[in-house]
Amino acid sequence: MNQHISPTGTGYSACPHDCPSTCALEIDISGGRIGRVRGSSGNSYTAGVICAKVARYGERANHPDRLTQPLRRIGPKGEGAFAPISWDEALDEIAERFKAAESRHGAESVWPYYYAGTMGLVMRDGINRLTHAKGYSRFFSSICVNPAWGGFMAGTGKLAGPDPREIGKADLVVIWGTNPVATQVNVMTHAIRARKERGAKIAVIDVYRSPTMELADIPVLIRPGTDGALACAIMHVLFRDDLADRAYLARYADDPAGLEAHLATRTPEWAAAITGLPANEIEAFAHAIGRTPRTFIRAGYGFTRSRNGAVNMHAVSSIATVAGLWQHEGGGAFHTNGAIFRWNKQMIEGLDIPGIAARRLDQSRIGDILAGDADALLGGPPVSAMLIQSTNPVSVASDQDRVRAGFAREDLFVAVHEQFMTETARMADIVLPATMFTEHDDLYQGGGNQYVILGPKLVEPPGECRSNHDVVCALAPRVGAEHAGFHKSSREIVDWTLQATGRGTVDELEAARFLDVQPDFETAHYLKGFNWPDGRFHLKPDWASVPFSRPDKAWAHAPMPEWPDHWDVIEEATAEFPFRLVTSPARSFLNSSFTETPSSTKREKRPELMIHPEDAAALGIADGDLLRVESPRGAVLLHARLFDGVRRGVVVAESIWPNRAHEGGRGINSLTGADPVAPFGGAALHDNRVRITRQG
Ligand SMILES: Nc1nc2c(c(=O)[nH]1)N[C@H]1C(S)=C(S)[C@@H](COP(=O)(O)OP(=O)(O)OC[C@H]3O[C@@H](n4cnc5c(=O)[nH]c(N)nc54)[C@H](O)[C@@H]3O)O[C@H]1N2
Ligand SMILES: Nc1nc2c(c(=O)[nH]1)N[C@H]1C(S)=C(S)[C@@H](COP(=O)(O)OP(=O)(O)OC[C@H]3O[C@@H](n4cnc5c(=O)[nH]c(N)nc54)[C@H](O)[C@@H]3O)O[C@H]1N2
Ligand code: SF4
Ligand SMILES: [Mo]
């Protein structure tokens, strides 16, 4: 297995982090340790560029605080007193506790919980094989993508679009609700290329003057959760000023006349009152789009993390149809490429196991679930045992006060498999040390690009670290789970998956390093039709027919709008909570990852609240003051940073700092809510009403 490891040289891999760029990497290895990391220049999407935090990955991989031994809690929950134990002791104890939970309340009282700390398909999703083999409670993953993916598919019927490298061939690049300078740097590589080579303009739609908006030719600063209104006004102007592509619409859209009639009242003045953006700026932006056939709309996740997020994503993608952008090279709307990879995941996830029927518990509602909320438990038994891999819910999940109370339950057994002693690991009964991506074999797919990349094992792990796959396989016989995947190495599973999907073998992929699976131009641009039975883009979405995974239990919410619109279900400011809070990602962290690396925390300085100077003056707040920020759910302490790059009434806290980095020890997600976004679930992380008071 380890014939690929050489103690010195260059290793080839993929960035494993939860980032749409999925960069192809070249890694310096010396003395069996990783050093400098570079972006592969032979990969046409990465194009030699990666972010600063991964370029200095040695700092994270060779960190003195890495977990290297299994640990058992020896003090009260959460206090952080642990003693080393052997792997056998740790695995036996987990298995005993899982079996005890199963015999008391049934297999559904065990809830394996994971997320995207690694995006490797085997290491991330292999835990589902254990879940399915045992009939444990399944995992409804919802925290990140659901409003965005479902909203995009409502129009196109498919989660794919024009080749993201075509950004470099656009004349207008519209970066909508994403902050790629911080969150997916390669979008900027291609956008800047278009600017340099073609004189393209870059428009950025955000709720604060983000590092990306700093570089924009057309900065579009709006209030949070109002993208639907902006999109509607843009389409109103396109129809009104004869910039809509009526021939294209007649051929490719469901009901353009219905949309035009609906939009008659969605004027720039109407949208100005909702978005805070002056009507003349809306007109000018609409004209720029309408007069630039090669307009590439790169829609991100940020603007969908609101209670109306799915509706807003559909509205934004509709602009590409009204203006007929999809027809042109360098034109159209792109969000992500989930649909083009078509993996056979049977071996990874055990999808051939009969009767995968257990309830699916909602990731985002972990606080409610651990609190025993009957609705969140879908009427089933309480959760009394968990294995957590590749995620840090005590920091990243909404409704943090409930999450923390849940993890403090004496009758809950928790094993956390981690690289560092995260705030979730601190709450565990058993902590298991995990490998990093250079220490195991895995397979990666691009989200914001079209590559399949191999990440082979390049170095030996420190201490006794084991991979997610090895832990799942070691637990399986102990709890009586059976499947062929438990008897294969991760490299063999990668090989099986590639072959079963018709993508060659692992050895071939290793020789090639990555594989470009971009569909042909006509397919990618929907020139053969959109992915609905009528072949048309659905301007009037039928949410019930969108082929996207939904929660097992629907919840009561206002009826969704029939057409693109401003859906007024966001957490609007009130007299009691007069501000709207957004928790945009910090540049040097990746969710809660990299908060352990000193250079990242140094760059980010301290947890702060960006507030407009006039709002600050009205509250008697000076730069640097300690503020108490309260939402209907909880409170945190943040230092004021006066910043005129937000609209009045909007505040931004770049995230996610460790909870303990805040004075008072409560993290930003004490403020955010876990109530699901309609209709596919997900957390409205950027949709919060808050009040602000000066502390002392
Ligand atoms: N440095 C860094 N990189 C990251 C991450 C990180 O935490 N830090 N997270 C990774 C993960 S898991 C993901 S999913 C991606 C997400 O990457 P993105 O798609 O960029 O999404 P977000 O990070 O949620 O937010 C992006 C931007 O949306 C803005 N925004 C918030 N609400 C609204 C709104 O209502 N309208 C508009 N127009 N804009 C709004 C925010 O201010 C922010 O600048 O990034 C990945 N990359
Ligand atoms: N307020 C607010 N909250 C947010 C967001 C926001 O914008 N604002 N963003 C949300 C989004 S988009 C997401 S995706 C979630 C993400 O939340 P998480 O999925 O929890 O992401 P990370 O915080 O990066 O934590 C991943 C953890 O996995 C560990 N890890 C990495 N690789 C491995 C491995 O191979 N094996 C094991 N066992 N562990 C590993 C890392 O050490 C790290 O602690 O957070 C969400 N929370
Ligand atoms: S930009 Fe994203 S994919 Fe690329 S190295 Fe940085 S975190 Fe990884
Ligand atoms: Mo995410």
Residue ranges of domains in the chain = 71-142+345-436+465-491, 147-335, 579-694
Cis ω before 388 (30° cut-off from 0): no
| DSSP class per residue in 616-674 | HHHHT--TT-EEEEE-SS-EEEEEEEE-SSB-TTEEE--B---GGGSTTS--GGGTS--
Give 659's pLDDT tier (boundaries 50, 70, 90): very high
Strand partners, 362: 140
For the segment(s) 71-142+345-436+465-491, the CATH number from 3.40.640.10, 3.40.50.740, 3.30.70.1140, 3.30.750.200 is 3.40.50.740
pLDDT in tens, 583-641: 999 999 999 999 999 999 999 999 999 999 999 999 999 999 999 999 999 999 999 99
Give the pLDDT score at 62: 97
Give 556's pLDDT tier (boundaries 50, 70, 90): low
- Per DSSP, the three-state class of 388 is strand
| Ligand 1 centroid, distance to 638 Cα (angstroms) | 20
Q: Give the contacts of 374 (CB within 8 A, at least 6 positions apart).
A: none
pLDDT at residue 123 greater than cutoff 60: yes
Q: Which residue's entry shows tokens 């993290």?
A: 667
Neighbours of ion ligand 4 (CB under 5 A): 144
Nearest by Cα to 436 from 175, 121, 25, 67: 67
Give the pLDDT score at 322: 99
Give the pLDDT score at 25: 98
pLDDT at residue 2 greater than cutoff 50: no
pLDDT in tens, 306-351: 999 999 999 999 999 999 999 999 999 999 999 999 999 999 999 9
Give 4's pLDDT tier (boundaries 50, 70, 90): low
> Does the Cβ of 117 fall within 6 Å of ligand 2?
yes
Nearest by Cα to 573 from 621, 642, 654, 632: 632
Tell me which amino acid residue 293 is: P
| Closest listed ligand to the CA of 305 | 1
Give the pLDDT score at 355: 75
For 600, list phi and psi in degrees, rounded to 5: -70, -50
- The closest-lying atom of ligand 2 relative to the alpha carbon of residue 16 is 32
Nearest by Cα to 20 from 214, 154, 190: 190
pLDDT in tens, 458-513: 999 999 999 999 999 999 999 999 999 999 999 999 999 999 999 999 999 999 99
> Does the Cβ of 129 fall within 6 Å of ligand 2?
no
β-strand 579-582 against 650-652: which pairing, if any?
A: parallel
Q: Give the contacts of 395 (CB within 8 A, at least 6 positions apart).
A: 422, 423, 424, 592, 656, 658, 659, 667, 669
Give the pLDDT score at 557: 66
Strand partners, 635: 630
Nearest CA to ligand 2 atom 18: 391
Compute CA distances 244 → 228, 320, 562, whole Å: 18, 10, 21
β-strand 635-642 against 608-611: which pairing, if any?
A: parallel
- The closest-lying atom of ligand 1 relative to the alpha carbon of residue 655 is 7
Give 553's pLDDT tier (boundaries 50, 70, 90): confident
Q: Which residue's entry shows tokens 């709307």?
A: 333
Beta strands (DSSP E) in 43-127 are: 71-73, 82-84, 113-114
| Ligand 1 centroid, distance to 179 Cα (angstroms) | 6
pLDDT in tens, 383-405: 999 999 999 999 999 999 999 99
Nearest CA to ligand 3 atom 4: 23
pLDDT at residue 561 greater than cutoff 60: yes
For 371, list phi and psi in degrees, rounded to 5: -80, -5
- The closest-lying atom of ligand 3 relative to the alpha carbon of residue 185 is 1
- Protein residues with CB under 6 Å of any ligand 3 atom: 15, 17, 19, 21-23, 50-51, 54, 184-185, 590
State the first-to-last Cα distance of the chain, in angstroms, to the nearest integer: 61
pLDDT in tens, 157-188: 999 999 999 999 999 999 999 999 999 999 99
DSSP 323: T
- Per DSSP, the three-state class of 93 is helix
H or E, element range at 315: helix 309-322
Give the pLDDT score at 439: 98
Nearest CA to ligand 1 atom 45: 183
Q: Which residue's entry shows tokens 């800047």?
A: 192
pLDDT in tens, 245-261: 999 999 999 999 999 99
| Ligand 2 centroid, distance to 237 Cα (angstroms) | 41
| Ligand 1 centroid, distance to 183 Cα (angstroms) | 7
CATH class of the 147-335 domain in this structure? alpha beta
| Ligand 4 centroid, distance to 18 Cα (angstroms) | 6
> Does the Cβ of 445 fall within 6 Å of ligand 2?
no
- The closest-lying atom of ligand 3 relative to the alpha carbon of residue 19 is 2
Give the pLDDT score at 394: 98
Give every strand in the sheet of 332-334, ordered side by side.
218-221, 201-206, 172-176, 295-299, 332-334
Nearest by Cα to 666 from 630, 642, 690: 630
Mutate to test the pocket of ligand 1, among 54, 304, 686, 689 (most ligand atoms within 8 A of CB): 686
Give the pLDDT score at 158: 98
Give every strand in the sheet of 442-445, ordered side by side.
442-445, 451-455, 514-516
How much is the average pLDDT of 646-664?
Answer: 97
> Does the Cβ of 592 fall within 6 Å of ligand 1?
no
What's the residue count for the chain? 696
Give the pLDDT score at 97: 98
Q: Which residue's entry shows tokens 């470009």?
A: 516
| Closest listed ligand to the CA of 651 | 1
| Ligand 1 centroid, distance to 686 Cα (angstroms) | 9
| Ligand 3 centroid, distance to 474 Cα (angstroms) | 31
β-strand 579-582 against 608-611: which pairing, if any?
A: unpaired
| Ligand 3 centroid, distance to 582 Cα (angstroms) | 23
- The closest-lying atom of ligand 3 relative to the alpha carbon of residue 51 is 6
Nearest CA to ligand 1 atom 13: 19
* Cα pseudo-dihedral 491, 496, 501, 507, rounded to 10: 50
H or E, element range at 121: helix 121-125
How much is the average pLDDT of 273-279?
Answer: 98
Cis ω before 656 (30° cut-off from 0): yes
Token pair belonging to 638: 């943040």
pLDDT at residue 573 greater than cutoff 50: yes
* Chain mean pLDDT for the chain: 97
For domain 579-694, give the CATH number: 2.40.40.20
Nearest CA to ligand 2 atom 14: 144
> Does the Cβ of 363 fall within 6 Å of ligand 2?
no
Compute CA distances 542 → 29, 153, 291, whole Å: 52, 10, 30
Q: Residue 17's Cα: distance from chain center in Å?
A: 10
Mutate to test the pocket of ligand 1, among 183, 282, 334 (most ligand atoms within 8 A of CB): 183
pTM for the complete prediction? Answer: 0.98
| Closest listed ligand to the CA of 431 | 2
CB atoms within 10 A of CB 54: 22
Cβ–Cβ < 8 Å for 565, 581? no
